[in-house]
Structures are given as C-alpha cells and as structure tokens.
Amino acid sequence: MSEATYLIVGAGSAGCVLANRLSENPAHRVLLIEAGPEDSSPLIAMPKGFGKLLADPKHADYTPVAPHAGNRGRQEVWARGKMLGGSSAINGMVYVRGHPADYDAWALQGATGWGWDEMAKRFKAMEDHALGADELRGAGGPLKVTPHAERSELAEATIAACAHLGLERREDLNRLDHEGIAYLSYTIRDGVRQSAAAAFLAPVRSRANLRVLTGTRVVRVLFEGRRAIGVEAVVDGHVRRFDAARELILCGGALRSPRLLQLSGVGDGEHLRSLGIRLVAHNPAVGRHLQEHLLYMAQWRLADWRHSQNREFSGWRLGLNATKYLSTRSGVMATGSYPVGGFYRSLPGAARADAQLMMCPFSLDFAAGGMAMEDFPGMQFFSYGLRPRSEGHLRIVSPDADVPAEVDPNYLAEEEDRRIAIASMRFMRKVAEQPSLAPLIVAETRPGPAVQSDEQILDAFRSGGQSGYHACGTCRMGGDEHSVVDPRLKVRGVEALRVMDLSIAPSMPAGNTNGPVMAMAWRAADLILEDAR
C-alpha cells in the first residue's frame, strides 16, 4: 500500500471500529498500527481465558501507578490489552451502554453532537443483540451481544436479595433507566469472546485498501510545523517512519494517547520544555482530568461447593473444563465471570443510580497475590461509584518513550466519592444478609466483620481496592480551549490529528466502558467521513 490516507495508532476497541468504517470506501487507504501481536492465542476466544492473558506480558501492557494517599502508598499496576483487539481481548466482556443522562451531560459540557440521541443510533447500528431488535437494541450489526444464559441457585438468590432491597429484576439493563438487577449481557456469542478485532476487523481484513501492522510500537507523532504528517515507530528494534496523507488518529487509550501527545510536543509547554522536548502546541489539559473507577472485592465463604467455582480452575477440573470448552464451546470456560449485576442508588436523594454491583461465583486468594482461587467454596461481590468526581493526572517524566509516565488517579479525593465507597460496602453486606442469600453463606472473609466504621471501610478501599480498568478523560473533549480535542475530535493547536478512545470522554460513562468506546468510535467514523466529503 502507498502512503495511507488515514493512519490509526492502536488496534483496540476504537481502532478496530475506525479501521472497519474508514476502509468501507475503497478510495481511502487505511493503515492500522498495533504494538502487540496478532490475536491468535486460543485463550482470547475463551471467555474465562482473560485471567491468564492479563498476566501475560506478550498480550498485556503494564502501567505503574504512583503510590499515593488514595491507595495507601501501594504500588498498583494497570494492565491494558496489547494485541489486535486491545483491551477488548482481555477484559471481562460485560456490555453496558451507560445512562442516557451521562451523554447528554457531555453535550452540555461542550461536546456538541455527543448527546444520547446521537449515541443511541450508534449503539443500535453496531449491535447484533441475541434478544433481538427493538426501539433501543440493535440486530444485524457486527458486534454480537448475548445475555448470560447459565442459571444457578446462587445467581437467583442474589437477584432475589437485590429485589428484596428494592431493585427491579430486568431482562436487559441497557434500557433508558438502567437501575435494577439482571443477568448481565456480554460480548460473547456461542461461547466465543467477541473482541473488537473479531467483530470489526476480522470480517474486513481482506480489503485491499486496509493494511494492518502488528509488532509496531509508535513512539512519536511527526509534525511539519503544526501539521501531523506521520509517526515514528519501533519495529524489531529498528526505527521506522509511516506517513499519512490526510489524517492521523490516536487510539491508544486513556494511558497511551496523552503520553504519545506529550512525547510529541503537545501538552503543557513549561513541563515539556523542562524535559527538552520541542513544543508543538501548548495545551495544559493533556494528561489531566484522569478519572477511574475504584472498586472493592468483598468476599464470603459459602456453605456448599455446589455454589462456587473456586475449584474449577486448577488441577484435573481445569483440564476437564478446558477440554470441554475446546470440543463443545460450552461449560464454565464459555461464560463471563459475573453472571449477575445491577445499578443502584447508594446515597439518599441520588437522582439516578450512582453505583454498580456485580456478583462473582468464586473468590480470590488475596494472601497469595489474588491470582488463584481460595481453597474453600467462596463468592465475591464488587461495587464502585459510577461517576467519580476525583481527578488525577498522567504526565511523562522523560523524553524517552521507554520510561513509564507518572500516573496518579487521586482516588477518593472528593467527599462524594468517599461517601459512595462507604455506602457501597454497606450495600454489598445488606445483599448478603437477605433471606434468599444468607442461608448459602457461612461468613464474610474480606474485608471481614471487624471492618465496620466509615474510616475502616475507607481504609479497606485504600489498602485493598483496585482499578476498574476504565480510565478516561486524559484527552478530554469539549468546546473551549480547556479541552484537548474539539467535538469533532481534532486536537487543538495542531492540524490533521485526532484522538478517539476513552481519553476523550468529558466525564465517566456509568458502568463498564468497552461498549461506549466502540459506539463512540462508530460516531467518530461518521464525523471523519463527513469531513472527507
């Protein structure tokens, strides 16, 4: 392929959608560049394979998070997917759209054209939902979505417990008002993960005008004056240049896209000059406004092995389950990890649901690092506030692309976030105490019954909470100079450069973020194609 019309950096949830949509026109030469390998591992297709992939540096990229007050000085590491499909190939696959009011809030904050009416069209266009099309759901699109099909006594007891506390049982949480409890929907079909690469890239990979490069790590955007003209990348240890005739689109995610901008001279001028980086465009917002969900995994010992999957992932049972999956695409390895979830109001007077709950029919051995199951039957709830108000930052500390950036999520800095954290722990315990669920439980094991006061609960979040892998806001979209990109996703102060990933979100969408990112990329493709006419 000759010089690309569009050069896309990052083949994750957004990049795969854009590659599909922009290459629909054979006159557009599209180059998609990915640092990781092909998505050929059989663990990617297997829904329960993501635990192994998260711990595999071939398929995951790791960003150290600075110890800070919000995590009691712990060294946290955030993992992101590093292969075709990006994090959609190693995530928990939960499909959540977010609340309509969140998108309308974006439009009110200056992201004109990104309200719910516009986003709803994109969700519907890209979906192939197993429940069929209706006024909100889509059918026939490239992304296959399926509700969790396996029913269990533990899942039904959890739903009944939440209903006893006032949550309505739903068939599908992705409605105009998502408050309620339900079997969750997943990007899974017939026991196979539907990553962005599987859904959007694989079906069009044979297009003559689409080129995909793996093992190609972009380290810098190249400019002529203020116009982006290409990228510098490392391939097999050698530096190469790739050019774009019309536009570059960064799709590296909320941790990589702002870092790449800063390394390329777009960011806070004083800071970049202090590192010896030539300034292309001064924009202090690059890397700021970082938001992340802080969740806590509370655990209980169960009375009977029938209700727990703790021994299904080791020894002879693991071999049996893996064999069953490979031969039939069924069994415990073919399903998502969180059969039941919901949205609820944790604080009195909340206008809409402000927290999310998920149930997991296994429990982790945190004393051994949290990568193995406990040796007794257990279950887990986790919960987090949907719209964190606390904001952190990401900034490079060196002009060397191999040096990790400084990342500080600034968890629990705002009072409302602390109040929701406390309320969410108390809500999880209330669910466990309900008459449908309590008979299945022996005792709470994490954080344990000694943790009762508000300050003790906050300390549990700070010392044992973790990222939801939903970071956003570091290249925030808006209508003024305090944003990084405008509503058409063009980077302010430069030409021929856009950003499309969760870093552009003006605020956190309510819930899991993979679905929103793909719908945002569908919307972005429409904008880019409009501008090309």
Cβ within 8 Å of residue 390, ≥6 positions away: 70, 291, 409, 410, 411, 412, 413, 414, 417
As a whole number of angstroms, the longest Cα–Cα distance in the chain is 69
Cβ within 8 Å of residue 119, ≥6 positions away: 103, 516, 519, 520, 523
**Contact 10/233 with Cβ under 8 angstroms?**
no
d(CA 341, CA 380): 12
d(CA 513, CA 471): 9
d(CA 529, CA 5): 12
Q: Which of 68, 178, 289, 470 is catalytic?
A: 470
470 is catalytic: yes
d(CA 103, CA 113): 10
d(CA 12, CA 497): 18
Instruction: Please give the structure tokens belonging to residue 420.
Output: 């929701």
Check residue 305 and give left, alpha or beta (phi > 0: left; psi -120 to 50: alpha): alpha
Q: How many other CB atoms are found less than 10 A from the CB of residue 207? A: 15
Helix/strand number for the chain, H first, E second: 13, 26
d(CA 445, CA 429): 12
Q: Please, what is the end-to-end C-alpha distance for the chain in angstroms?
A: 22
Instruction: Please give the structure tokens belonging to residue 334.
Output: 């073919």
Active site residues: 470
